[in-house]
């Protein structure tokens, strides 16, 4: 139970990190997430299924020989490619999410469409694109062929419980993404990106193109979201075009809960507290599903609870005199 809450909180916490970049760093209200998250899941599922199909033995032709004259010859795919399937699936998920972010950026900058509407347009279009990635099906099961989950459960060897191995793998993945984000936002580009979200004029005065910088940030944010979608598909055992439903609200709830838990002006702490907020959010949702019936709460009420959590977080932050948007961005106070 606890391991499940922790793993799910870490996997979806990576998605919340992407939202943190869009909403907090760039000050760009981006709804593309509801399209880029399932896009990452669909891309990862399609890559895994494609490699599995390519490596499957071919049926022998008449006379016991295959089309190339071999007995049930396998497809000409290097064995090392099969071993790299988990990595390729994650790369594909990141790329699919980043592509969705670039589309939103183009719509916003080229057509002068407001950020929210640009995200809605991309999200709507990617629903059909995700269906095509999944071969026209609304979902793709990964139960029989799930190399990423299989690796995460067994990478520490048979002497470690699979649930513990899975939790450590999810923890390392989340910490790796958060650590790389922290490093990135201490670079010149990362600092400029944070400064642009706070004051775009300062970036222009520094001779940096804000359109290119914002496009990079949106692509990065949605790439991280797509990576999370790939991990979620593997963890859940299937990829689904409806994975993105309500994902923005749950991600924002995670970000705001983290802000309530830990107050800090340092970008590194702000990044890592998002993961803590995601774990807390998943824990609260588990409590609501398991014992909510005592208060008349049903699974149908979970989205309402998510909305109330966001409203409550905003209210508490405002009452404390520190609105969430007042938090420092990269480029301000640092160690």
Query: pLDDT tens digit string along 59-92?
Result: 554 444 444 444 334 444 555 666 788 899 999 9
pLDDT above 70 for 57: no
Residue 205 vs residue 83, higher pLDDT: 205
* Distance separating alpha carbons of residues 174 and 172, to the nearest angstrom: 6
| pLDDT given for residue 334 in this prediction | 47
Give the three-state DSSP class for 141: strand
CB 47 within 8 A of CB 89: yes
Nearest-CA neighbor of 25 among 216, 275, 226, 229?
A: 216
Distances (CA, A) of 86 to 46, 91, 231, 264: 12, 9, 10, 35
Domain layout of the chain by residue ranges = 2-54+81-243
The tokens describing 309, both together, are: 């959590």
The pTM of the full predicted model, rounded to 2 decimals, is: 0.87
The tokens describing 125, both together, are: 């279009």
240 forms beta bridges with 139
Q: What is the mean pLDDT of the chain?
A: 86
DSSP classification of residue 142: -
pLDDT above 90 for 112: yes
Summarised one tens digit per residue, pLDDT across range 293-317 is 777 788 788 888 888 888 888 888 7
* Distance separating alpha carbons of residues 329 and 193, to the nearest angstrom: 9
pLDDT above 80 for 122: yes
- What percent of the chain is modeled with pLDDT above 70? 86
Confidence of residue 55 (pLDDT cuts 50, 70, 90): low
């Amino acid at each position: 139970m606890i391991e499940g809450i922790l793993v799910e909180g870490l996997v979806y916490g990576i998605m919340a990190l992407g939202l943190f970049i869009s909403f907090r760093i760039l000050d760009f209200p981006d709804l593309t997430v509801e399209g880029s998250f399932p896009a990452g899941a669909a891309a990862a599922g399609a890559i895994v299924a494609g490699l599995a199909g390519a490596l499957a033995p071919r049926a022998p032709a008449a006379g016991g020989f295959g089309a190339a004259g071999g007995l049930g010859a396998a497809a000409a795919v290097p064995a090392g490619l099969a071993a790299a399937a988990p990595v390729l699936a994650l790369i594909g998920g990141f790329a699919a999410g980043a592509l969705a972010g670039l589309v939103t950026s183009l719509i916003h900058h080229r057509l002068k469409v407001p950020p929210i509407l640009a995200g809605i347009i991309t999200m709507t279009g990617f629903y059909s694109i995700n269906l095509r990635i999944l071969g026209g099906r609304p979902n793709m099961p990964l139960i029989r062929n799930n190399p990423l989950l299989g690796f995460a459960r067994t990478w520490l060897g048979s002497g470690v419980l699979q649930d513990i191995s899975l939790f450590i793998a999810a923890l390392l993945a989340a910490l790796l993404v958060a650590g790389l984000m922290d490093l990135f936002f201490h670079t010149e580009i990362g600092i400029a990106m944070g400064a642009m979200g706070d004051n775009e004029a300062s970036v222009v005065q520094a001779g940096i193109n804000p359109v290119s910088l914002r496009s990079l940030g949106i692509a990065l944010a949605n790439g991280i979201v797509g990576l999370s979608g790939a991990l979620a598909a593997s963890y859940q055992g299937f990829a689904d075009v409806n994975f993105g439903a309500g994902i923005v609200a749950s991600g924002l709830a995670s970000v705001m809960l983290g802000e309530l838990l830990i107050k800090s002006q340092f970008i590194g702490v702000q990044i890592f507290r998002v993961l803590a907020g995601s774990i807390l959010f998943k824990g609260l949702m588990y409590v609501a599903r398991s014992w909510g019936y005592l208060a008349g709460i049903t699974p149908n009420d979970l989205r309402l609870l998510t909305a109330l959590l966001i409203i409550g977080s905003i209210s508490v932050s405002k009452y404390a005199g520190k609105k969430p948007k007042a938090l420092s961005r990269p480029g301000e106070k640092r160690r």
